[in-house]
Amino acid sequence: MRVAVRKLEGVESVDVSLERGAATIALRPGNRITLPQLRQIIKNNGFTAKDATVTVIGTVVERGGKPALSVTGTDVVWLLAGSNAAYADAMQHVKAPQTAPVEAAGTVAAPANESQPEVLVVQALKAVGK
Amino acid sequence: MNVFRTRTRTGGIGAAALALLLIVPSLAQAELRRVDLKIFGMD
């Protein structure tokens, strides 16, 4: 699995621990790798990928009056969820749209099926470079 | 001669603007930086 993920363009490092049941993947700036892509590779190697804790850089956009994170370049939009200060910050972006990118960290649950939109439960949100 | 020079400069600015348009979207693009996936079992 480690070798297969490592082959993807944009992967900086891969650490797989079967003992911990975790795969940690660091990605280079400018990569176009998506979470479903990583899940698929893991599946192809006989494992099941569950929840993911991610750090992502993107732009907060509005979807149905709620905040979402536009993962441009991959045509992916993650709906944002949460009930903390980070989510409140994201709501501010909806009320006063900004084009400046933000760095978001949080958890994306394994989708029940491929057509289900992914939801990022945001735990931290900050302007890029701060 | 002067007119020719002006056109040349405009073309240079146009090329620079085009280059910026090509670069800026990639800077604005979001991307995954780090992923910690829970994995389990062999199928």
* Interface residue A51 vs chain B (CB under 8 A): yes
* B32: in domain: no
Residue contact A47–B43, C-beta within 8 A: yes
Domain boundaries, chain A: 2-49, 53-127
* Interface residue A120 vs chain B (CB under 8 A): no
* Residue B32 clears pLDDT 80, i.e. is over it: yes
Tokens of A54: 């991610």
Digit-coded pLDDT (tens) for A99-123: 888 999 999 998 887 777 889 999 9
Neighbours of A16 (CB within 10 A): 20
Residue A63's nearest CA partner among A94, A108, A88, A35 is A94
**Cα–Cα distance between B35 and A118 in angstroms, integer?**
14
Model confidence, pTM? 0.76
* Model ipTM over 0.90: no
Range of the domain at B19: 1-27
Asked if residues B31 and A71 have their Cβ atoms less than 8 Å apart, the reply is yes
Q: Which residue of A has its CA nearest to B30?
A: A58
Within 8 A of B38 by CB-CB distance, chain A residues are: 21-22, 49-52
Within 8 A of B28 by CB-CB distance, chain A residues are: 59, 72, 99, 101
* B10: in domain: yes
**Cα–Cα distance between A32 and A81 in angstroms, integer?**
24
pLDDT at A121: 96
Residue contact B41–A48, C-beta within 8 A: yes
Q: What is the CATH number of domain A53-127?
A: 2.40.50
Domain count for chain B? 1
End-to-end CA distance of chain B: 76
